[in-house]
Structure 1
């Protein structure tokens, strides 16, 4: 701040009534605190530059927030300062399991501010499922999934093609997404308990999410045997690929398949 700014601030340290009247047409009644706390770090959920050059800002909400307009306005001012020559488009995406009940605008005093609010459950998940991106397929579980078992089989079909570490990361993302769809999470567990799906939950995942403790009460080897049988029945993969996927020997896979009359 320059010396001139400091001088001006000092000059209005007490209410300059005539000055205030000239500016507002009214008298000042009380000096208020003119200090504000330092701006805290803000991290938006997603900010993209779109192909038309505009800026797209997305916030995902799991719960309704009546103060959302103020949050979005704060983001807007920060974005506009950073990208003054670009149009700013903002959206709040409601991903909660309940009913959407959030305002999409703010109208106070001389301020009129708005943005989009969309309930993800109104979005048809078909296009996400047909996407080449596994991220899109994972997000599809939050949309209007009409055939959950088919959805899971589609996702699992993609997961089994991935290296073990990468596959585990995507399974973790899927389980986190299902936290916001508790009924579907129960259905997924039931499908896994029935061994209709070759979706392997590691011991580490089960510790982080005790809801999925499948197989560990029975012992690791028994769980792997059941996974081998499920994968073979569902996807008809050869023994070497199943072995690589489950981090076991090819001989062990062949032995299990023979024990179950599958070889």
Structure 2
């Protein structure tokens, strides 16, 4: 068997925070996933080891999956050769599509309404356009202030791109955009949609690179040449991370947290 293994490139986790639990301080690690990935448990185990090594805190891990189809990823790795040689690793996997519409709608955390388009998978697939229209209407009638509603609606439109076709999204959100004057919402959605296309892996890196550059250009107007060069050198995983976190990148220099 080989005794040399490929170098594992630097990875940027989606979110790690220090928190207090009944057992004392812990590091909470969250990963957001829009597609099934058979490599997920290996990635999560590497994250757990690096977080524990860095902070010496027990790590509570969650993968939040909001894809179109049911989650098929395993959330554990295990084997037992003896009491001295064993692996029993697990993490919490949440399939947002299994959360009911009413459960999320009635949550006290109203900013989470942006996830309405990807909850309740069976009802969503059965009702189609009417389901998405209800999502937009419930966000509009929420207790959020007008500016927060714009942000939540924009995010809801982007999440809708993961599970609805473009025609349905345009029909439902066009009127909403006019009502709230969300000038860039449709533009963001059309760009983001390209990063969610399903098909052969060939050309995926080029497609995501184009999506990343266009999203950053729309948000920051101008991208320094050195960042453009580096973006073109990134793999699919890094590009997807930038796209998924576009709302949290408030300064072009924050790309340093993602680029390899």
User: 1:97-116 residue pairs with structure 2 within 5 A?
Assistant: 97-108=68-79, 110-116=86-92
How many residues are matched? 175
**1:92 aligns to 2:92 (yes or no):** no
Q: What runs of 5+ residues in structure 2 fail to find an aligned partner?
A: 124-130, 192-260
Indicate the SS of the match to 1:60. strand
Q: What runs of 5+ residues in structure 1 fail to find an aligned partner?
A: 1-29, 212-263
Q: Who is 1:124 aligned against?
A: 100
Q: 1:159 and 1:168, CA in 2 relative to 1: closer, same or farther beyond 3 A?
A: farther
Deviation, structure 1 residue 130: 2.8
Q: Who is 1:136 aligned against?
A: 112
Is the Cα contact below 8 Å between 1:100 and 1:119 reproduced in 2?
Answer: yes
Query: How many Å separate the matches in 1 of 2:156 and 2:177?
Result: 18
The alignment yields a C-alpha RMSD, in angstroms, of 3.5
Structure 1 ranges of 4+ moved more than 6 A:
194-197
Which is worse superposed, 125-134 or 88-97?
125-134
The structure whose RCO (Cα within 8 Å, separation 6+) is larger is 2
User: 1:244-259 residue pairs with structure 2 within 5 A?
Assistant: none
**By percentage of residues, which structure has more strand?**
2
Indicate the SS of the match to 2:146. coil
Deviation, structure 1 residue 89: 1.7
Deviation, structure 1 residue 70: 0.9
- Per the normalisation by structure 1, the TM-score is 0.54
Is the Cα contact below 8 Å between 1:59 and 1:93 reproduced in 2?
Answer: yes
**1:64 aligns to 2:36 (yes or no):** yes
Deviation, structure 1 residue 65: 1.0
Query: How many Å separate the matches in 2 of 1:125 and 1:175?
Result: 16
